[in-house]
Amino acid sequence: MSTAQALVRCDVAVIGAGVVGAAIARALMQYRLDVVILEAGDDVGAGTSKANTAILHTGFDTKPGTLESRLVRRGYALLSAWGPTAGIPLERLGALLVAWDDDQLARLPAIADNARATGYGGARPITPEDLRRFEPHLGPGALGALAIPDEAIVCPFTTPLAFATEAVMNGAMLRLASAVQGRAEGPDGTHVLSTTSGVVHADWVVNAAGLASDTVDRFFGHDTF
């Protein structure tokens, strides 16, 4: 039976093999589960996961106490620890918030206070003299800066590839060119997903479809995504 004709039965179908979907699939494979990853593209990480700033963010400027702040800090710690073991290029370059006028200079202490409130205590003020030493090619007129030494860059291509590779090596099935086209409820209460590569029956579905997440959401009867 060809892949296009095959009917697949699994515990969990993860829709999307970007960085989020691939990471979820990798985590699920730590349990006794049959997992299928359905990716509409011809490769993993081919959507928004490859089109970003490549910054591994400390979360210093997030709003303290929010879910975003907690997840950014947690993601930074996890990827910083796991990335090097998986061969993901990661470099801690640091960042400088440069003040070009008095108003910007006056706001730097509040940004440092916000960073501490998020749990990041590494932000520190930089004098104009130190700033010129750190960045000798910076244009004239900078009044000072706030240094964020732990800001880093990470390879956006290798990251989802590493997640997906570990998921597949631990038993997940990766189906590329498998765009989800619809969903119905099976007689046994499962989700019946029609895709461009065949039909998938799943007890649970993870919607990590990136820019198509709203379309997938509507397949499940929702309209408030």
- Give the pLDDT score at 3: 44
φ/ψ of 123, rounded to 5, equals -70, 135
Radius of gyration of the chain (CA): 22
Per-residue pLDDT tens over the stretch 135-185: 999 999 999 999 999 999 999 999 999 999 999 999 999 999 999 999 999
Q: Strand 144-148 and strand 124-126: pairing? A: antiparallel
Give CA angle at 210 (35, 157), nearest 5°.
80
- Confidence check: pLDDT of 6 > 70: no
- What is the rounded average pLDDT for all residues in the chain? 93
Mean pLDDT of 2-29: 87
- Give the pLDDT score at 52: 85
- Give the pLDDT score at 187: 84
The predicted model scores a pTM of 0.85
- Confidence check: pLDDT of 2 > 50: no
Q: Given pLDDT bands bounded at 50, 70 and 90, which one contains residue 51?
A: confident
Alpha-carbon torsion angle 40, 191, 2, 22, nearest 10? 40
SS3 34: coil
> Residue 55 pairs with which residues in a beta bridge?
153
φ/ψ of 8, rounded to 5, equals -110, 135
**Residue 131 or residue 224, greater confidence:** 131
Q: Given pLDDT bands bounded at 50, 70 and 90, which one contains residue 73?
A: very high
Question: For residues 189 and 168, what is the distance between their CA atoms, to the nearest angstrom?
Answer: 27
Mean pLDDT of 187-212: 94
Give CA angle at 77 (73, 56), nearest 5°.
70
- Give the pLDDT score at 213: 95
Question: For residues 173 and 25, what is the distance between their CA atoms, to the nearest angstrom?
Answer: 10
- Give the pLDDT score at 194: 96
- Confidence check: pLDDT of 193 > 50: yes
